[in-house]
Every structure is written in structure tokens, then in C-alpha cells.
Amino acid sequence: MFKIGCHLSISNGFLKAAKEIISIGGNTYQYFSRNPQGGKAKAWDQKDFEGFMEYAKENNIEGLLCHAPYTLNACSSNPDIREFARMCFRDDIKNLENFPNALYNFHPGSHTGQGVDVGINQIVEILNEIIYPEMKTTIVLELMAGKGSEIGRSFEEIAEIISKVNYKEKLGVCLDTCHVYSAGYDIINNLDEVLDEFDRIIGLDKLKAIHLNDSKMPFASNKDRHEKIGEGTIGLDAIVRIINHPKLKSLPFYLETPNEIEGYKEEIELLKSKRSC
Ligand code: FE
Ligand code: FE
Ligand code: ZN
């Protein structure tokens, strides 16, 4: 099955968003656990959740991807911001544990001048504090474009974080096609080599989700500007190879393109028509 969806708001609940994704031809979606700029998560609504679970079962929605707020920075030089990251992880994971096997995607963080080594150690420290043995949620590190002092701009940095976390089996990776291209991995001309490199350094078994985006920026620019599918520097042909690649095709794909719902619907239709089977 082609698992395809887009980013949706759950401000009106999980069930409403599930109906929305089905209405535009998708079968999974990504949502923010709380306002992307931070703040409090809205209170857990058990009735909505149960309604969602029933609807998801009837409509073959397999799983969702929860995205942490952008303000979660586990390696800020500011201890208050690191404390917010801890709180946010704990709070969001508590909700996610209601799902049978949730995925929680976060940006590893920006070291804000402390240097990569200090940054990685602070991320690891927090992950080791918040992960517990019975946790069912998989925490997914998103590969970043490498703007500013962003950590997670290379397979090596992601692998180093994973290697230092005690419960490695609770971690996964999300490949964002816009980010990875901006970070200097040539997924247009060398997709097989890039995936081989990923496998060698991180392990393809760790890959849990794909953020499917075109890019407004040139190759290896370290800039993070998403573009609509087929309208950017990556282009439709490369994206079609990605959704059909034997090593990727069983993964869930999430659009984070600059679109309203109608645009997402068109992209989902286009991608489904280009999917081999
Ligand atoms: Fe992201
Ligand atoms: Fe992304
Ligand atoms: Zn991005």
C-alpha cells in the first residue's frame, strides 16, 4: 500500500483531520503536537481519540506522524529552552503512548554557538532522561538542511546521537527530501548511493518516514525552503523515483509543501498516478 498524506492541523481533533485526509485521497497525516511556535498542547480529548481510532480502522489509516514544535531545542545554550524541550518531550510522549505505536518527529536542534559536540551531548542527555524502557513511541530524528547552527545536517551527526542514546531501539530517522538535498546529498542523480550511505552510517532499518518536499533552493545550499512537488530544484522525476524506490516504497510519505488543502489533494493525486504499484 502507498502510504501518503500531508501535514494537517488537529485544532478540531484527530477525527476531523482523519476525515480530511481521506477526502483528499490520502491515508495518513502529520500534525503538530502543539502550536509550532511553542506553547501548551491542547488538553487530551479521549472521546475524539476513540472516534479517530475507530474511523482509522475502518478507513485503513495506519499511523500518524506527530511533529514536535519548532521551538523544541534540546541543545540551546539557554537552559530554560532546554528545560522546555524536556517538558515538551515528556508531555507529548504521554499523549502519544495512547497510540499503538506512535512516531514522534523532532528537529535535533541548533547548538546556538556552543559547537556541534556540546550540542550533540545535550541532545543525548535529554533523550536519555526522557526515554524509558516501556515507552512504545518511536522518537524520530529529522535530518536537517544545516542552516545556522543546526545539528543533524549529516548522516554522521544523526548516527552519533543514536549511538550515544541508551535505548537506541526507541529511535528512528525521518528523511526530508528538501533538507537532505540542501544538506548536499544528491538524491536527483545518486539516489542509490545516498541510500547506501545512509545504510552504512545509520542503517536503513532506522528510517521510519519521508517528508516529501521539493526545494526552492539549489543543491547543497544548506537552506530550508520547501516548494510544491515538481516546481522546485528537485523536480518531479526525482520525486517519482523516490516514492517508487524499493528501499523506500513501504515507508509513509508526508507532504509539507506550501499548499492549502486543494493543493495537497492535487499533489496526492499526482503522486498516486506516478506510483508503480
Ligand atoms: Fe520538520
Ligand atoms: Fe520536514
Ligand atoms: Zn523544512
Task: Give backbone dihedrals phi and psi of 5, rounded to 5 degrees, phi first.
Answer: -165, -165
Q: What is the pLDDT of residue 137?
A: 98
Q: How far apart (Å, rounded) are the C-alpha atoms in residues 103 and 121?
A: 23
Nearest ligand to residue 105 Cα:
1
Q: 47 alpha carbon to ligand 3 midpoint, in Å?
A: 33
Q: What is the pLDDT of residue 12?
A: 96
Q: 256 alpha carbon to ligand 2 midpoint, in Å?
A: 7
For the chain, give the secondary structure using H, E and C: CCCEEEECCCCCCHHHHHHHHHHCCCCEEEEECCCCCCCCCCCCCHHHHHHHHHHHHHCCCCCCEEECCCCCCCCCCCHHHHHHHHHHHHHHHHHHCCCCCCEEEECCEECCCCCHHHHHHHHHHHHHHHCCCCCCCEEEEECCCCCCCEECCCHHHHHHHHHHCCCHHHEEEEEEHHHHHHCCCCCCCCHHHHHHHHHHHCCHHHEEEEEECEECCCCCCCCCCEECCCCCCCCHHHHHHHHHCCCCCCCCEEECCCCCHHHHHHHHHHHHHHCCC
Q: 120 alpha carbon to ligand 2 midpoint, in Å?
A: 20
Q: What is the pLDDT of residue 119?
A: 98
Q: How far apart (Å, rounded) are the C-alpha atoms in residues 277 and 274?
A: 9
Nearest ligand to residue 211 Cα:
2
Nearest ligand to residue 69 Cα:
1
Nearest ligand to residue 175 Cα:
2
Residue ranges with CB less than 5 Å from ion ligand 2:
176, 211
Q: 210 alpha carbon to ligand 2 midpoint, in Å?
A: 8
Nearest ligand to residue 36 Cα:
1
| pTM tops 0.85 | yes
Q: 223 alpha carbon to ligand 3 midpoint, in Å?
A: 9
Q: What is the pLDDT of residue 185?
A: 98
Residues (pLDDT < 70) of the chain are: none
Q: 226 alpha carbon to ligand 3 midpoint, in Å?
A: 6
Grid cell 489533494 in the structure block, residue: 265
Q: What is the pLDDT of residue 211?
A: 98
Q: What is the pLDDT of residue 206?
A: 98
Nearest ligand to residue 70 Cα:
1
Nearest ligand to residue 255 Cα:
2
Q: 231 alpha carbon to ligand 3 midpoint, in Å?
A: 16
- Average model confidence (pLDDT) across the chain: 97
Q: What is the pLDDT of residue 37?
A: 84
Q: 155 alpha carbon to ligand 1 midpoint, in Å?
A: 16
